[in-house]
A and B are shown apart, each in its own frame.
Chain A
Amino acid sequence: MALILECVIVMLLVISLFAVLGLVLVLMERKVAARMQIRLGPNRVGPKGMFQTAADTLKLMMKEGLTPDGADKFLFNLAPFVVMIAAMLIMAPIAFAKGFQIWDINIGVLYVSAVSSVSVIGILMAGWASNNKYSLLGAMRSGAQIVSYELSAGLSIISIVVLSGSLQVSDIIASQQTGWWLFRGHIPAIIAFVIFIIAVTAETNRAPFDLAEAESELTAGFHTEYSGMKFALFFLAEYINIFIVCAIGATLFLGGWMPLHMGHWEGFNHLMDYIPSSLWFLGKTFFLIFLIMWFRWTFPRLRVDQLLSLEWKYLLPISMFNLLLITLIAIMGWHF
Chain B
Amino acid sequence: MAFLKEYISEVYHAVSSLLKGMRTTGSYFVRPKEIITQQYPDNRADMKIPERFRGEVVMTHDENNEHACTGCTACELACPNATIKIVTKFDTTPEGKKKKALDTFVYHLELCTMCNLCVEACPTSAIKMAQTFEHSVYDRNQLLKKLNNPGSKLRAGVE
- Determine whether the beta carbon of A39 is less than 8 Å from that of B11: no
Say yes or no: is A73 at the interface (Cβ < 8 Å to chain B).
no
Q: Which residues of B contact A298 (CB under 8 A)?
A: 18, 21-22, 24-25
Q: Is the interface of B mostly helix, strand, loop or mixed?
A: helix
Q: How far is the CA of A36 from the CA of B39 in the complex (A)?
A: 18
- Determine whether the beta carbon of B11 is less than 8 Å from that of A297: no
Q: How far is the CA of A266 from the CA of B11 in the complex (A)?
A: 40
Shortest 6 CB-CB distances between A and B: which pairs? A36-B25, A298-B25, A40-B37, A39-B37, A298-B21, A35-B29
Say yes or no: is B80 at the interface (Cβ < 8 Å to chain A).
no
Interface residue total, chain B, C-beta cutoff 8 A = 15
- Determine whether the beta carbon of B18 is less than 8 Å from that of A35: no
Say yes or no: is B36 at the interface (Cβ < 8 Å to chain A).
yes
Interface residue total, chain A, C-beta cutoff 8 A = 15
Say yes or no: is A265 at the interface (Cβ < 8 Å to chain B).
no
Question: Contacts A299-B18, A299-B21, A318-B11: A294 and B39 contacting too (C-beta < 8 A)?
Answer: no
Q: How far is the CA of A51 from the CA of B35 in the complex (A)?
A: 22
- Determine whether the beta carbon of B28 is less than 8 Å from that of A40: no
Give per-residue flags for A166-204: 1 if the beta carbon is below 8 A from chain B beta carbons, else 0.
000000000000000000000000000000000000000
- Determine whether the beta carbon of B21 is less than 8 Å from that of A40: no
Residues of B within 8 A of A (CB): 11, 18, 21-22, 24-26, 28-29, 32, 34-37, 39
Q: How far is the CA of A297 from the CA of B26 in the complex (A)?
A: 10
Q: Which residues of A contact B21 (CB under 8 A)?
A: 298-299
Of the residues A39, A295, A314, contact of B35 by C-beta under 8 Å = A39
Please report the number of residue pairs spanning A and B whose Cβ atoms sit closer than 8 angstroms.
37
Q: Which residues of A contact B34 (CB under 8 A)?
A: 38
Of the residues A39, A294, A314, contact of B36 by C-beta under 8 Å = A39
- Determine whether the beta carbon of A32 is less than 8 Å from that of B35: no
Task: Name the CB-closest residue of B to A290.
Answer: B29
Task: Name the CB-closest residue of A to B30.
Answer: A35
Give per-residue flags for A29-52: 1 if the beta carbon is below 8 A from chain B beta carbons, else 0.
000100111111001000000000
- Determine whether the beta carbon of B25 is less than 8 Å from that of A294: yes
Q: Which residues of B contact A36 (CB under 8 A)?
A: 25-26, 28-29
- Determine whether the beta carbon of B26 is less than 8 Å from that of A294: yes
Question: Contacts A294-B26, A297-B25: A38 and B35 contacting too (C-beta < 8 A)?
Answer: yes
Interface pairs (6), CB distance under 8 Å: A35-B28, A38-B34, A38-B36, A39-B36, A39-B37, A298-B21
Task: Name the CB-closest residue of B to A39.
Answer: B37
